[in-house]
Chain A
C-alpha cells in the first residue's frame, strides 16, 4: 500500500514515523517548503542567531532513507480524488492508495489596505524567515500587528536586531482572548520592560507605502500614524486549504474530519493545523493549531491507517510558550475566565514576573487546571491531579512534588500556601515537612 502525505510538518512526519514503526507500507512525504522535516517552532531562533537551519532538524538526513520514508520536494496543485492521483505544479503525476493531508496554515489577512506591500509579512514558513532577513535590513522601527504567540515571537526577533517594536494589540491586554487579566498584565509589563511600545486596544487600519512600494508607516483605527520599515502581520492563522476548495472534499474553515481524522472521502485523512473537527468537544477549539496536538493526532492516525482504528483523544489539555524571558506552562482547560462552577486562586511574586493560578470546582474543591508563569511544573503531576479530581488543598500542599525549576532555584511554595490559606480559609493547605537528604 502506498501512503502519500502532503506536508512535512510535525503532524505529517509523526504520522509517517508511526506508520513505519508498525508496518511496511510505502510512504511518501511531499513538501514544497523544505527537503527535510524541521521544527517550525524554532524558526525564530534562526533569525536571532541562536541556531542555524540545520540545528532545527530533529533527525539527521540519513534518517529518512534508513526508515524508508521517501521525501519529495514538490508543490501539489490539484488532487483527483476519484482516481487517487496528485498533480504537482511541474506537471508530475503521483498516485496514492491512502492520502494524508497535513498542509498546515496560512496567515490571516483582513483585507487591510497595503497588506501585500514589501516589508509586510507573517511568520509561518522557512521562506518567511529568509524574507524577513531581507525585509528587516536597515530597518529601525517596526510594527507587530496581533497580540498572540507568533506576534510576541516576531517582536522578540525584531528586538534582537535592535529594531524598535510597536506592538499593536486589539484587546485590553496582551493575548487577552486567552490569558486571564493578571497573567496578561504580567506579560504586558514584561514586554514594556524590554523597551517595546505595547499599544493596547489598537487596531490596524491601513499600511502606507513609500515610492518604491515598500512600507513606510501604518495608520491605526484611531488614526495614529506610526513610521516603520517593517510590519509583522500575526493576527492568527487559518488552514492552508485553498487548493482543495471546489473539490468533493468537505471543508469549512479547515478540512472537516471526524474523531478518527477521516474526511468525507474514503482513504483520505487530514490532521494538524489544516484539519477541523466536525464535532469538537465542549470548550475545545474545532481547529487545533498546536505542535503537541499535531503530534498526538499523528500517532492516532498512524494507528488507524495501519488497521488499528484509534480515536484521537486530546487528554488533559496542556500547552506552553515563552514570552521573551518568561516561560509559561498551562495544564487543564484554563481560559481567560474560570468556568461558572469554578473558583480561582492566583498568586504572583512581588517581582511581578512569577505567578501561578489554580482553578478548582466550587462544590468539592477538585482541581481543574494550572497556569504557571516563570515556574516550571511537571506535566505528569498536573495531569494526574486534574484527571483524578485531586483536592485543591492537597494540590497546593504538594506543589513541591511538581516543581521542575533547576536545582538551587528559590521555591515559593511557602508563600503560595500562605496566600492560598488566606484567600480560601475553608480549605487548608499545609506546609510539607522538610525531608532531610536520606541516602
Chain B
C-alpha cells in the first residue's frame, strides 16, 4: 500500500511538473491570417497592420518575448492616437490571448490530447493513488489528524510557502495576464468547444480546474470523514453545486446562446450582477432574462434571510457556495492555520463589514449610472469605483489572497475577512436564526481541537468550556469542530430561537 501511495505521489508530481513547464514550451509565430481572423474590422486592420507586420512569420522560441513584442507593436499602433488624445480611435482590445493561442505551435499544440491526459487525468489518478490507500493504511474510521503539525505543507513549512507562491502567481496570471497561460488554455479548447461551442477562455480553464481539483479533493474528504455522514453529505452537495450550477449550466446556456448564469451565485458575492452590461443582457433576453433577474433578486431578498433563519448560513457557505466548496476540499488540509486570536476577530469584523459597505456603495453607484445615465456621483466617477472594487476585492482579495493564502492563513481567508455575502448571511445568523452549535453541558475538557480545526478562526473552546452555545456570525457550519471533539460536546442544530444564548449551569451551582 505504501508503494502505491508513493507511486501515486510521484506520478502526480511528475504530471504537475509537466503542467508547470507547459507555459514555457512551444513556438510562436504570428501570421497575417491569424491577425486578420482576430481583427475582422477592416479599419482596425488598417491601423494595426503597419506595426504588426514586422512580427508576421517571425518565429519565437518562447511566449514571453512573443507577448512582449506583440504588446509593444500593438501599443505602438495606438501611440499616435494616445498622444493626440484621439480616444475614440484607440483600439483597446489587443486580443492578446487569442493571438497567442492561434500563433502557438510546436510540441504543445501538436500533443494537446496527450498533454490533456497527462496533466489532468493521469495527475488526478496519481492523486487518487496517493489518497485512497488511506483506507487500508488506516483501516479504522475515525478522526485522524495525526502529524498535521509535523508536516511542512500543513504547518507553514517552506513547501507551504512555495505552494502559496504558486497559487498567487496562478491567480495573477489568470486575472491579469492570461496570455502567458495560453498553452494551458489550449488544452481545454476541445472540451470548451464541445460544451460551449466556443474556444476556451481563461475562465473556462479556471472553471474546469476548479471542478477537477474539487472532485479529486472530495475523495480525500470522503475518506477522511467516512465516519461522519454530515461531512459526506455536505461534500456531495458542494461538489454538485460547483459542477452543475457553476460549471455545466452556465456553459450549456452559452452554447444555447442564452444569457449565462450561475443560479446559486448571489449578490454581493456576485458583484457584477447589477452591472449595466449584465442588466442589459438579461433585459434583452425576453422572459428567461427577466426570470433570471427576478431569481437573483429573490435570492438576495427572500432566499438568504429565510434559509439562514431555518438552517444558518451554512446552507450557503458550506453546502452550496463555490468559494466554500474549494475551501472545504482543497482547503481542508489547511483549515487549522486560521488565526484564533481576539485581535484577528476584531480585524475580521471591521474588514468584512467594510467590504459589504463597499459592495453596497459600488452597486448603488453603478445602478445610479444605469438609471440616470450620469457617470459621476459627488464628483466621483462610478466607473472607477467599480473598477477599484473589481481589482481590489474581486481579484486581489477573493482570488490572489483568498485562495493563495490557503497554506499560510487557512482555507477561509476570503470567506472570513472578505466576502460581503458572508457578512450579510452572518448578520442574519447572529441576530435571527434557529442555527447554533450546542454545547453539551459541562462535558468540555478544553483540549482545543475544536478551536484549532475551526477554519473561520472561531475560538470554539472559549464558549464550550463555559457551557455556552456557539452563535457567531462567521460560523459557516462546516461541522468539523463537532467531528474532532473527543468528548462529544458539540452539535450543530436548528432549534427554537428561544434560549439559544443561555449557558449551561449545573443545578448545584444555580444558587451561586
Contact = CB atoms under 8 A, between A and B. Distances in A.
B486 interface: yes
Interface stretch (B89-97, B108-116, B144-152, B172-180): B144-152
Given A50-B146, A406-B483, A58 B228 contact: no
Contacts of A303: 512
A315 B342 contact: no
Interface string A351-393: 0000000000000000000000000111110010001000000
Contact of A10 (B139, B227, B446, B487): B446
Most buried by A among B149, B342, B448: B448
Contact of A310 (B140, B149, B465, B512): B512
A372 to B, nearest CB: 8
A234 interface: no
A322 B442 contact: no
A56 interface: yes
Given A50-B449, A379-B441, A160 B146 contact: yes
Given A56-B447, A324-B140, A404-B491, A50 B442 contact: no
A408 interface: yes
A318 B291 CA distance: 57
A39 B445 contact: yes
Residue with the greatest number of chain A CB neighbours at <10 A, chosen from B148, B310, B447, B493: B447
A52 to B, nearest CB: 5
A212 interface: no
Contact of B465 (A45, A58, A321, A325): A58
A196 to B, nearest CB: 11
Nearest to A403: B491
A251 interface: no
A439 B311 CA distance: 12
Interface stretch (B44-52, B64-72, B267-275, B503-511): B503-511
B294 interface: no
Nearest to A58: B446
Given A39-B447, A56-B448, A327 B488 contact: yes
B443 A379 contact: yes
B448 A160 contact: no
Interface string B158-190: 000000000000000000000000000000000
B451 A60 contact: no
Contacts of A410: 229
A314 B149 CA distance: 38
Contacts, number: 142
A55 B479 contact: no
Contacts of A310: 512
A252 B447 CA distance: 31
A322 B144 CA distance: 13
Interface in A410-431: 410
A299 B448 contact: no
B454 to A, nearest CB: 11
Contact of B149 (A52, A57, A60, A321): A52
Given A291-B445, A303-B512, A406-B230, A327 B487 contact: yes
Contacts of B451: 55
A380 B442 CA distance: 9
Please indicate which of the listed interface residues B440, B441, B446, B479 has the most CB atoms of chain A within 10 Å of its own CB.
B446
B462 interface: yes
B142 interface: yes
Interface in B106-153: 139-143, 145-151
A378 B449 contact: no
Nearest to B484: A50
Given A41-B447, A160-B147, A325-B140, A404 B442 contact: no
B492 interface: yes
B196 interface: no
Contacts of A50: 145-146, 148-149, 449, 452, 484
Please classify the interface of chain B as helix (H, G, I), strand (E, B), loop, or mixed, using the class held by over half of its residues. Answer: loop
B491 A406 contact: yes
Contacts of A112: none
Contacts of B448: 39, 42, 45, 51, 55-58
Contacts of B151: 49
A5 interface: no
Contacts of B438: 404
A48 interface: yes
A439 B482 CA distance: 26
Given A49-B148, A404-B491, A296 B229 contact: no
A58 B462 contact: yes
B506 A193 contact: no
A407 interface: yes
B341 interface: yes
A51 B452 contact: yes
B346 to A, nearest CB: 13
Contacts of A57: 448
Contact of B441 (A48, A60, A327, A378): A378
B233 interface: yes
A436 interface: no
B447 A49 contact: no
Interface string A115-127: 0000000000000
Interface centre among B151, B229, B487 (most CB of A within 10 A): B487
A45 B447 contact: yes
Nearest to A41: B445
Interface in B408-449: 438, 440-443, 445-449
Contacts of A48: 145-147
A304 to B, nearest CB: 11
Nearest to B138: A194
Interface string A292-305: 10011001000100
Interface of B: 139-143, 145-151, 227-230, 233, 310, 341-342, 438, 440-443, 445-449, 451-452, 461-462, 465, 479, 482-484, 486-488, 491-493, 504, 506-509, 512
Given A325-B143, A327-B486, A406-B492, 10 more contacts: A39-B445, A41-B447, A55-B448, A60-B341, A299-B509, A325-B141, A380-B504, A404-B440, A407-B491, A409-B229
27 contacts: A42-B446, A42-B449, A45-B447, A50-B484, A51-B449, A58-B446, A160-B147, A291-B446, A292-B442, A296-B442, A299-B512, A310-B512, A315-B508, A318-B443, A320-B443, A320-B487, A321-B487, A324-B142, A325-B142, A327-B486, A329-B443, A377-B488, A380-B504, A404-B491, A406-B491, A407-B491, A439-B310
